[in-house]
Structure 1
Amino acid sequence: MLEMISHGIDISAELTEVSRNPIRRNFQRGVTMKLFEIRTAIASVVCVALSVCLAPSVRAMDDRTDLLDFKPEGFSHPAEIDNQWMPLKPGTQLVYSGWKIDEEDRRVPYQLIVTVTDLLKDVDGIETVVVLEQYFANRKLEVSGLAFRAQDNEANLWLLGEVKEFYDENVKLIAARFWAAGLQGSRAGIVMPAKPTAGMPSYSQGYVESPYAWHDRGQVRETGAKVKVPAGTFDHVVVTEEGSRGGRHAPPIQVKYHAPGVGCVKVNWVGKDPAKEGLELSKIVHLGEQQMEKVSSEAMKIEQRADYYGLTTEPPRGAAKVRSAQR
């Protein structure tokens, strides 16, 4: 995988508030979120959400390299996301369970919790839905982050940026990654087309310039599949491939399975996966008001720290620089 130079963050240290954007009200529940203005970007590779090692051996990704033409006028209601293959309804929580191989070649329990918050954030002039993603290894938080997604007028689902924070075995925040569309040449991309069709051309999922050079693409491999996971059996599943093509250092390709009305339920690898992670959808939860308040609070903490990541390349006073985060 590609890597970036990250910053050590002492979460007990007081970070200076740098945003002066007004508070805006969420159309979903009346919950507010202080939007932060990203002044400069620390570009990064986007961490993929799921992985598993039971994979076909043939890559079908085409050779296209074109980027998508992002037009804000094509987003009339960007935060109303009802894409059939990846709907984002506030309060929905998808729980993925499985395992991964650690640095000592041991198989350890692994879990990913993806929660659609009721928070909104403006990225590159587009109102996006904030999705909280939390990874746990042996029940300890390993990675936590936010994904900013929006839907265009044709129901294509876009990714406009991400924040990722990395924790050590003592659950201490040690590194971070961040990118957003419109900053330092970064471009938004589509994570799920409105009308996926087998054989359609591949599509850019986003673009971040060097030195971190992330340029993943997606392509529809199959439609009408049937998939069984712990959360249930799903019909009419769309199967997609995601990754970067070519080169002996190219990362493995992911094969994702998207169930209608649910979203991603399973992911396989094509190629070598050094972590050999394995995750499948195990539970779908609909959160209550108190649970959502807790989720919103956690997302806001990440958002406030991300304000800092976008302003400086130096760590807070008293915090040490750490190794590059790699995932």
Structure 2
Amino acid sequence: MRTRVPAAIAAGLLALTGALTACGSGSAPSPPSGVDGLVVPTPDPEPADFVAAIDNPWLPLAPGTRWEYADEATGQPALVLTVEAGPEVAGIATTTLVRTPAEGAEVRDHYAQDRAGNVWWLGRVGAWQAGVSGAQAGLAMPARPRFGDGFRTALAPGASEVATVRALGEEVTVPLATYDRTLELEVADAAGESRTEVYARGVGLVRTDRLALVGVEEPR
């Protein structure tokens, strides 16, 4: 069932506009959702609402892409992100983003894009998966983010986060390049800790806290 449900908006957060899909009719949305007419997180995403490729310009995830990041203070390699085809989650074909830090364990997250261009986070290997044990898919990246928008990225054990758009169009310089078509998110978790993520249009993540982009390899 695909009943459109007005989203609950938390105080101080604005709503996204436009016709958005990929909502289910299960439980009431957990505020803040930040999206009009869309339940975020969604307890029952509809497979028919999703497309095969993730080409959202803020979070493009083409299999074979590789991003490299270094510590801005020391210049030392710190993180590599790679993209590969993912498994089916809740009946939806996913794309997997693999995070490999210089120190620490590999993390694998599953994403999918709906027909409106919104990217959803559907699970993390070994931690949670949408539709299992009450975990719900959250909005990883809206198709058209606006300053002040807020949205829950997931609702699952250890993955209850809220993202807020703090800036758009600021000039940002990282070791690889200078970008002026940018999006800055503040992501806060249930423990009250937060991080800053900066995305460049057409590139993806270019900075997160102390880590900055030093190289990109796109699939041939």
TM-score (ref. length: structure 2): 0.76
Residues 1:121 and 1:260: Cα distance change in structure 2 (over 3 Å): same
Q: Say which of 187, 199, 203 aligns to 1:242.
A: 187
Q: 2:152 aligns with which of 183, 190, 204?
A: 204
Higher relative contact order (CA 8 A, sep 6+): 1
- The one-letter amino acid of 2:131's match is G
Pairing 1:146–2:95 present: no
What is the CA–CA distance in structure 2 between the aligned matches of 1:74 and 1:197, rounded to whole Å?
A: 27
Asked if 2 retains the 8 angstrom alpha-carbon contact of 1:208 and 1:215, the reply is yes
The aligned amino acid for 1:129 is T
**Percent identity over the alignment?**
29
1:179 and 2:120 are equivalent in the alignment = no
Whichever structure has more helix as a proportion of its residues is 1
CA RMSD of aligned residues (A): 2.5
Q: CA deviation at 1:65?
A: 3.9
> Which of 254, 271, 280 matches 2:195?
254
Q: Residue in 2 aligned with 1:92?
A: 65
Q: Which of structures 1 and 2 has the bigger CA Rg?
A: 1
Structure-2 residue corresponding to 1:116: 83
Deviations along 1:250-309, one digit per CA (max 9) or x if unpaired, are: 3421121110000010123xxxxxxxxx21001001356xxxxxxxxxxxxxxxxxxxxx
SS at match of 2:181: strand
Secondary structure at the residue paired with 2:198? strand
Change (3 A) 1:61 1:264: farther
Q: How does 1:1-327 map to 2 (within 5 A)?
A: 62=13, 64-66=31-33, 67-69=40-42, 70-73=44-47, 75-77=49-51, 79-98=52-71, 109-117=76-84, 119-137=85-103, 142-163=104-125, 177-200=126-149, 202-209=150-157, 212=158, 214-244=159-189, 250-268=191-209, 278-286=210-218
Partner Cα separation in structure 2 for residue 227 and residue 108 of structure 1: 17
Structure 1: 5+ residue stretches without partners? 1-59, 101-106, 164-176, 269-277, 289-327
Deviations 1:144-175 (A, max 9, x none): 12111100011011110112xxxxxxxxxxxx
Aligned residues: 187
> AA paired with 2:141?
M
- Taking the aligned partners of 1:68 and 1:152, their CA distance within structure 2 comes to 14
Q: How much does 1:76 deviate?
A: 3.6
Deviation at 1:64, TM superposition (A): 3.7
CA gap of 1:267–1:120, structure 2 versus 1, over 3 A, is closer
Structure 2 Cα separation of the partners of residues 160 and 281 of structure 1: 25
Tell me if structure 2 keeps the 8 A contact 1:186–1:207. yes
Amino acid at match of 2:67: L
Alpha-carbon distance in structure 1 between the residues aligned to 2:146 and 2:53: 23
Pair 226,207 (structure 1): closer, same or farther in 2 beyond 3 Å: same
Give the AA of the match of 1:192: M
